[in-house]
Structure 1
Amino acid sequence: MTAEIAATGKLRADRQRPDAETKPKKRRSDRARAEARLGWMLAGPAFGIMLLVTLYPIVQALWDSLFSLRLTAPGDREFIWFRNYAVILGDPAFWQSMGVTLFITVVTVLLELIIGFGFALVMHRAIKKLRGFARTAILVPYGIITVVSAFAFFYAFDINSGGYVNNWLSWIPGFDENLNWFASQSTSLTVIILSEVWKTTPFISLLLLSGLAQVPGDLEEAAKVDGATGWEVLRRVILPNMKAAIMVAVLFRTLEAFRIFDNIFIMTAGANNTEALSLLAYNTSIGRLEIGLGSAISVLLFLSVLVIAGIFIKGFRVDLSAGRNS
Structure 2
Amino acid sequence: MSGATTTRRRLDGLSAAGLLLPTLLVLALVIGYPLLLAVNLSLFSDPIAGVPEFVGADNYARALWGADAGRFWSAAATTGGFTLVVVALELAVGLAMALFMNQLKRGKAFARVCVLVPWAVPTAVATVLWQWMFSTGGVVNALTGTETLWTGAEGPARAAVVIIDVWKTAPFVALLLLAGLQTIPGETYEAAKVDGAGAWKRFTRVTLPMLAPATAVAVLFRILDALRMYDVPAILTNGANGTTTLSLLTQQLAIGQVRVGYGSALSTLTFLLIFLVALAFIRATGARIAGGRS
Do both share a fold (TM > 0.5)?
Answer: yes
Partner Cα separation in structure 1 for residue 221 and residue 285 of structure 2: 14
Report the equivalent of 1:178.
147
Partner Cα separation in structure 1 for residue 82 and residue 168 of structure 2: 14
| 2:263 counterpart of 1:290 | no
1:102-181 to structure 2, matched below 5 A, reads 102-127=80-105, 129-159=106-136, 162-170=137-145, 177-181=146-150
Identify the match of residue 39 of structure 2 among 62, 65, 73: 62
Report the equivalent of 1:238.
207
Amino acid across the alignment from 1:59: L
Amino acid across the alignment from 1:60: L
* Higher Cα Rg, which structure: 1
SS of 1:314's equivalent in the other structure is helix
| 2:59 counterpart of 1:84 | yes
Q: Contact 2:212–2:289 at 8 Å: present in 1 too?
A: no
Amino acid across the alignment from 1:304: L
The CA deviation string for residues 91-145 of structure 1, in whole angstroms up to 9 with x for no partner, is: 1111110111011111111011011011111111111x31111111100011100
| 2:273 counterpart of 1:304 | yes
How many angstroms does 1:269 deviate by?
Answer: 0.4
Report the equivalent of 2:72.
94
Partner Cα separation in structure 2 for residue 142 and residue 211 of structure 1: 19
Residues 43 and 198 (structure 1), Cα distance of their counterparts in 2 relative to 1, 3 Å cut = farther
Partner Cα separation in structure 2 for residue 39 and residue 144 of structure 1: 37
Residues 133 and 41 (structure 1), Cα distance of their counterparts in 2 relative to 1, 3 Å cut = farther
Q: Contact 1:156–1:165 at 8 Å: present in 2 too?
A: yes
Partner Cα separation in structure 2 for residue 322 and residue 40 of structure 1: 29
Partner Cα separation in structure 1 for residue 125 and residue 223 of structure 2: 22
Partner Cα separation in structure 1 for residue 36 and residue 224 of structure 2: 20
SS of 1:67's equivalent in the other structure is coil
Amino acid across the alignment from 1:163: G
Runs of 4+ in structure 1 over 4 Å off: 32-44, 318-324
Overall identity of the aligned pairs, in %: 39
The CA deviation string for residues 246-284 of structure 1, in whole angstroms up to 9 with x for no partner, is: 111000011001100001001110111210000010111
Partner Cα separation in structure 2 for residue 310 and residue 226 of structure 1: 39
Residues 114 and 37 (structure 1), Cα distance of their counterparts in 2 relative to 1, 3 Å cut = farther
| 2:161 counterpart of 1:192 | yes
Q: Contact 2:128–2:236 at 8 Å: present in 1 too?
A: yes
Gaps of 5+ in 1: 1-31, 171-176
Whose helix fraction is larger, Structure 1's or Structure 2's? 2
Residues 264 and 34 (structure 1), Cα distance of their counterparts in 2 relative to 1, 3 Å cut = farther
Q: Contact 2:210–2:292 at 8 Å: present in 1 too?
A: no
Partner Cα separation in structure 2 for residue 216 and residue 283 of structure 1: 51
Residues 82 and 321 (structure 1), Cα distance of their counterparts in 2 relative to 1, 3 Å cut = same
What's the TM-score once normalised by structure 1's chain length?
A: 0.81
Gaps of 5+ in 2: 1-8
What's the TM-score once normalised by structure 2's chain length?
A: 0.89
Partner Cα separation in structure 2 for residue 303 and residue 67 of structure 1: 19
Partner Cα separation in structure 2 for residue 81 and residue 190 of structure 1: 39
Amino acid across the alignment from 1:100: T
SS of 1:78's equivalent in the other structure is coil
